[in-house]
Amino acid sequence: MTASAWNEFEQRLACEGSWHADSQALAWPVPEALSQRLAERNAAALATVSALEERRADNADDDDPVMQELMRLDAKLNALIDMVSRLSLSADALAPRQELSFNAIGAVVPDALASVGEELLLRLRFDACPSVPLELPARVDRRLGDGRTFIAFRGLGDGVAASLERFVFRHHRRKVAGARQANA
């Protein structure tokens, strides 16, 4: 899977940025029970992050009292989720931010994250909900020689892979929209 995983990764859209990330060694092959638990948790984590990152356009001209009340409730729920998230995981407990890029095929990570072993569990935490990590089983696929390593994800399952692709697309779309607004 060496050349094909790398080629497929390079041909697909990838999230690039700085996220709280760490890794730990992982016994290989991943036991089926653990693989299923990870798939369930990852699907839930992606759904949570997606829901929290979703931003509705503020429509100041909307005089509908029901819509205004729904927007107030939405803001209150977002604030409550943010407070609970901050209480459940202090900033000191978060892994340091790492520059990396990822999609449903794999990730390009700093060598330090891949130094735990050839098989690892990559843990990503997103600002929208840092207490809910995305935990991705992976194998080192190739060392890039510039301080970075490409790791290929294994056993994500079709549902998690599709959700991850949607996440990457939404992230890219927001980045493009932000760049367009900055240039306007």
* pLDDT per residue as tens digits for the range 129-145: 788 889 999 999 999 99
pLDDT over threshold 90, residue 149: yes
Q: What is the mean pLDDT of the chain?
A: 86
The model's pTM is 0.80
What CA–CA distance (Å, rounded) separates 153 from 141?
9
pLDDT at residue 100, rounded to an integer: 95
pLDDT over threshold 60, residue 122: yes
pLDDT over threshold 50, residue 56: no
What CA–CA distance (Å, rounded) separates 16 from 171?
9
Helix (H) or strand (E) holding 47: helix 32-53
CB 153 within 8 A of CB 137: yes
- Mean pLDDT, rounded, for 46-53: 81
